[in-house]
Structure 1
């Protein structure tokens, strides 16, 4: 079977227009999001002034899986991402179905949640008396329109939003640099100082600042040279995010005492209020809108390519694999997802559901790492433009499984319970739809 294109007779292919810089921005934008703007405070509560160390350790843990995704993207540049490589490695339709729908659910719950956040923040800037629900639905239509319009337009919008996110963090660093050196960067809330268990707990929390790199795998088919572009995009963005996160962390605890930072509802806004009191309060609201909107856009693109790839591979209804002849986008998949997203937005607050799907992503990461191990050992599998030694996916699987176990045991019981309920729904859909899928090794 060909590695790219749509095998249906007469069907146009997705447009290969993504270059290295665009994919770098796509990956970086997926990771930065709005999470770092609040995560620094929570991490400071755990690690104190040593919060920067938590980001460094978390990057090493996340990079293991990132390297696996980079290798897989250079081997199999296909829409469908994790679902395709799972099917290729294990040939188990049920497992592939669960992986694909888990990733899709994560993306859709994120888009729906972010739509409401955008609406609330927009109305705080422009109180025009329109209900937040109407604004959220309007934002959804706008994002769907951009995704339908084309991958070039989606990438252009992402570059703009990512630049705003990036400059927002750089601004915090620049105004806070004069405060550097004023605190002990190894001071922690623990009387025992820096211990392995303390760093581990902080790394588990900060690990989630790196989630987003996995979206890149779903747009690999639209890259001009996936063998080189995908590894550059993922690895480059993860390293850039790490430098930003560590610099922001050092700045934050240097400007605001870590105990106050942990209590602040908007930690980086608190830092800016001290280091740059002249900066208008609405500035970070505007940055948040760009960051959240970017997350929604990227997750919509990812979900549409995942649906397209799974439909092309026989795991979802065939019409979802159609490509618009003019726009070269999976328009049926985009429209179908819009219906689901409208339903999710109308359902109200789905924050707990979004947390559950993030938890399930750790299980997906474990499966994807294992898939790379299987494919590396299978005779006849073509090598990609970026290969990693087998210990990388092996360690990546162990790390993700450990993080998953920790979140289930030590975290809020509601997220694992909802994750379990979501898996039951996915299983029920499988029994109802009975997808034929691809044969092993297809």
Structure 2
């Protein structure tokens, strides 16, 4: 009797452009903007919005490189697949993939601790228990299914962005203008203030880290050739507009000295508001941090799945749950590591290195695209960018990476 072997279960292509944009915004416009504005203002002073624009310019070149690569190779573990195709070195492929997964896991760990810190005053439950609860709940949602997970993340993203839009409205329309006048937010074209803007741009870069995670769900996207470039570009444009508007509104409403010293800068906009409004915004901040945990968990598990599916990690990480069509072992592994990190390691020190890891990956991804463009003849079945784009991506990432070492 002939035995017919069942084909390995694969991921389901179910994400359309709106869902992918919301996913991208959810992982990009996350907890970072809720805490970074104060630190950015501390470095750049009244020119903090310019720092976000500089960071967006640095990210933009690499974003276009990702737009091409994600249509050439619409698979999980995107960055690892790109580097593998460009350099054809297994060790480099695994290193890049694990670096991307590690950055997501570290970020999710730090954000989990932040979520627990927001929840503790509301519940009275010990923060370590809250942290485990947050991670466990997000793992269950991630296991539920990619469509369900991204829909949940999309709903949370809408709430999260609504909170930022409310900050913009309140800062410009309701709060007393106790901060910096608009005319003082535009810097001269030369002067020592650009050193502060450059240093602040590295902090602002943290707020843009995440758009590249969209490449790691490309295997679950409908028509990736059309969907991926549009979603990546729209995510970057919308995130930049939101960041600049939010930063400007907060600077306009809050005294600069007070803003630069705050770990919860957006809450300062509502200091004169009613307790109900303050509590409502606090709840949105909790939702924002929880969303970051879910999306980073999805990303990291897909990287492990993608590496295993391509033979770079043990095959067990490529195991997909038949019912939900999600990488069950990879997701549980990621959740377990996050739980351990939140309970044992100084996440703040590790998180400071996340941007350097991401910039190093950006450099390698752009170099991989340069090699592919010079080596492989062009075809018509994927999105293409001019060859100058990845060169500019390498230069911009190297410049910001060098700034991070000063």
TM-score of the aligned structures, taking structure 2 as reference length: 0.92
Spell out the pairing of 1:24-423 with structure 2 (5 A cutoff).
Answer: 24-127=21-124, 130-178=125-173, 183-187=181-185, 196-274=194-272, 276-277=273-274, 279-380=276-377, 382=379, 384-408=381-405, 410=406
TM-superposition CA deviations, 1:243-275 (whole Å, max 9, x none):
11111122111112222221233211112224x
Contact 2:44/2:193 (<8 A) preserved: no
Q: Give the secondary structure class of the aligned counterpart of 1:280.
A: helix
Alpha carbons of structure 1 residues 142 and 382: separation in structure 2 relative to 1, 3 Å? farther
CA-CA distance at 1:108 after TM superposition: 1.1
CA-CA distance at 1:364 after TM superposition: 0.5
Measure, in 2, the Cα distance between the counterparts of 1:222 and 1:234: 15
Measure, in 1, the Cα distance between the counterparts of 2:147 and 2:171: 36
Q: CA RMSD in A?
A: 2.2
Farther-moved stretch of structure 1 (42-51 vs 92-101): 42-51
Measure, in 2, the Cα distance between the counterparts of 1:119 and 1:267: 18
Alpha carbons of structure 1 residues 312 and 172: separation in structure 2 relative to 1, 3 Å? same
CA-CA distance at 1:126 after TM superposition: 1.5
Alpha carbons of structure 1 residues 392 and 262: separation in structure 2 relative to 1, 3 Å? same
CA-CA distance at 1:70 after TM superposition: 1.4
TM-superposition CA deviations, 1:266-313 (whole Å, max 9, x none):
211112224x45653323321221111111111111111100110011
CA-CA distance at 1:90 after TM superposition: 0.4
Q: Give the secondary structure class of the aligned counterpart of 1:405.
A: helix
Unaligned 5+ segments in structure 2 are none
Alpha carbons of structure 1 residues 313 and 187: separation in structure 2 relative to 1, 3 Å? closer
Contact 1:30/1:295 (<8 A) preserved: yes
Measure, in 2, the Cα distance between the counterparts of 1:41 and 1:303: 29
Measure, in 2, the Cα distance between the counterparts of 1:344 and 1:269: 28
Farther-moved stretch of structure 1 (241-250 vs 259-268): 259-268
CA-CA distance at 1:315 after TM superposition: 0.7
CA-CA distance at 1:335 after TM superposition: 2.1
Q: How many residues align?
A: 398
Measure, in 2, the Cα distance between the counterparts of 1:369 and 1:248: 30
CA-CA distance at 1:17 after TM superposition: 0.7
Unaligned 5+ segments in structure 1 are 1-7, 411-442
TM-score of the aligned structures, taking structure 1 as reference length: 0.85
CA-CA distance at 1:193 after TM superposition: 5.7
CA-CA distance at 1:357 after TM superposition: 2.9
CA-CA distance at 1:337 after TM superposition: 2.2
